[in-house]
Structure 1
């Protein structure tokens, strides 16, 4: 498709006509030499002496070339351009933080696979998370791990393959043996401070009670609700255990309720897969589409044509003058 970036420039196209009719002609006085044998000189060069001013005139060809050059210059100033096919880009309209508990209790092999084989809790969570991350193509995601302390394992990225790489490097106990659930939520809120989108989702998975946070889960969830962060909580531990090994289901349910999210419990790999599928269905991929058409400037073509015409006409004029004087 062909268009002009500055079509208003065509308004100056009749400008030379206005100048020709309304602007007085240029007059210039020059010095002359009086000689007594002027008529003999004029006769020798074949000129006919006349009184008054001398007016320079153009041939029809010269006038035509001047008009064409002016039109080409106006075309160039209007910035002609060729528009390419529309290119559509998609940008994530929601950021997702995954907060994963890797305390010592995640090393227990009480999860069951589809065929009934025992499996480590963290490995089961990793396998399900990989599938969940793959389905979030287009979303920006970050990964937080927490034990005794909470850490950002991967900041916000659209490169979900690299996020899976960071997930693979996660091991039980690398953040300490205890559970800092409140600190993990607080760190997730801080991570969202660099987010430029309004929709913010945090998914928190834990298998124990909060035992080492400097910020309580209740306070952290209240701040999250104030910041517009929706939290989905998943409990994967044993609610009948004692001490730090007992998952605090009430706390996880309260966190989700305070932020407008939802609470889930999973005691095997199949149930955990269903949980993430449910979260995915409730929070489908959200993107903002932007389209643009690449523009290729064509202004150099009329400029080149005008330059060639000027050079050719100037060369032709000089050749004609030489032949005339020869």
Structure 2
């Protein structure tokens, strides 16, 4: 059985009858109105020229009115309830925007790009596979900022990542602040309908903690208390450096791998090292396997709009009724 979104609009059905019965004065004064081509208009509508009121209206006109009222009430067909699978993850991404992320030591589609551009490309693909997850975003440099709250709207998170620029949060690196803020947001934005979610932080950085007020060790303790697992990714390729900053020789970028390993080990997560976009993509694929968890979501009943049927039928009836007198007139 169809259901109506606005069933109260069906109360308009007897309106023409009420107009005819309760407002006789309106009918008595109707004759005072002189319309040009009155005879032709009445004939076109299928009403006798001398009875151009509601009482003389043809049956098809009443049917059209009833169909319009049904369409206005917006009937919908409800399918059987299903239980779509939904991930149990609350995932917070913490992405480094410090000055070193502008280093051009990555390659994407065969051309050199800076680190942030490479991260954006791989993160966009990673978010495409997060259906069912609530994802939030923290961007950090000298300070940490919660840009996107936990949300199922992954397109918003993706757009915020794409709009980020190097240095937006300062040129230094506050890893501890970013981690502490991520823990805080996961705690504050808990979903009461999912009392035991799988809460995860993925922290990506290419530097050393040299700013902020919260030491990384203290932030890791906060994550442990909240039972939040932290995966850390040290990101950046090999860079060439020499005298006066000229590119010469080969050395590893300055990443505090020991500190990142300690954070992950303390919280039950894993540390990854990515030197190029392929390794970074492989890390995110590995995280898919590590964090795979699904459960049944809330029951959903798909709705199909039915109002086009009565609306279309009313239109067809009107066109047919208007066309019949014309054919008779030509004959």
Match of residue 256 from structure 1:
264
The answer to whether structure 1 residue 96 and structure 2 residue 91 are counterparts is yes
Q: Does 1:136 align with 2:130?
A: yes
C-alpha separation between the residues in 1 aligned to 2:293 and 2:155? Answer: 17
Counterpart CA distance in 2 for 1:241 and 1:252 is 23
Aligned-residue RMSD, C-alpha: 2.5
| Structure 1 unaligned regions, length at least 5 | 2-82, 295-326
Measure the CA separation in 1 of the matches of 2:239 and 2:257: 10
1:107-138 Cα distance to aligned partner (Å, 9 max, x none):
000112353x3211000000000000000111
Distance 1:85 1:192 in 2: 34
Tell me the equivalent position of 1:219.
Answer: 218
Partners in 2 of 1:128 and 1:293 — Cα distance?
35
Separation in 1 of the partners of 2:106 and 2:300? Answer: 50
Does structure 2 retain, via aligned residues, the 8 Å contact 1:111–1:118?
Answer: yes
Superposition pairs for residues 52-201 of structure 1, below 5 Å? 85-113=80-108, 115=110, 117-193=111-187, 194-196=189-191, 197=194, 198-201=197-200
Distance 1:84 1:153, change over 3 A: closer
- Provide structure 2 residue ranges, at least 5 long, that are not aligned to the other structure: 2-77, 242-252, 303-331
What per-residue deviation string (whole Å, max 9, x for no partner) do you get for residues 73-95 of structure 1? xxxxxxxxxx9622334444210
Structure 2 equivalent of residue 229 of structure 1: 228
Superimposed CA distance per residue, residues 235-271 of structure 1 (whole angstroms, 9 cap, x where no aligned partner)? 01368999xx611011111110000000000111111
User: Aligned-pair distance for 1:292?
Assistant: 6.3
Tell me, what secondary structure is at the counterpart of 2:148? Answer: strand
CA distance in 1, matches of 2:203, 2:240: 20
Instruction: After TM superposition, list the pairs within 5 Å mapping 1:282-293 onto structure 2.
Output: 282-291=290-299
Larger mean Cα displacement after TM superposition, 191-200 or 170-179: 191-200
1:293 CA displacement? 6.9
> Distance between the aligned counterparts of 2:287 and 2:171, measured in 1?
28
Shift in CA distance, 84/200, structure 1 to aligned 2, threshold 3 Å: same
Q: How many residues of Structure 1 are paired with residues of Structure 2 in the alignment?
A: 211
**1:273, distance to aligned residue in structure 2 (A):** 0.8
Paired with 1:122 and 1:267, the residues of 2 have a C-alpha distance of: 13
Task: Please list the CA deviations of residues 266-308 of structure 1 after superposition, one character each: whole Å capped at 9, or x if unmatched.
Answer: 11111111111111121125343333679xxxxxxxxxxxxxx
Kept in 2: contact 1:239–1:249 (CA 8 A): no
Contact 1:136 1:285 (C-alpha < 8 Å) held by counterparts? no
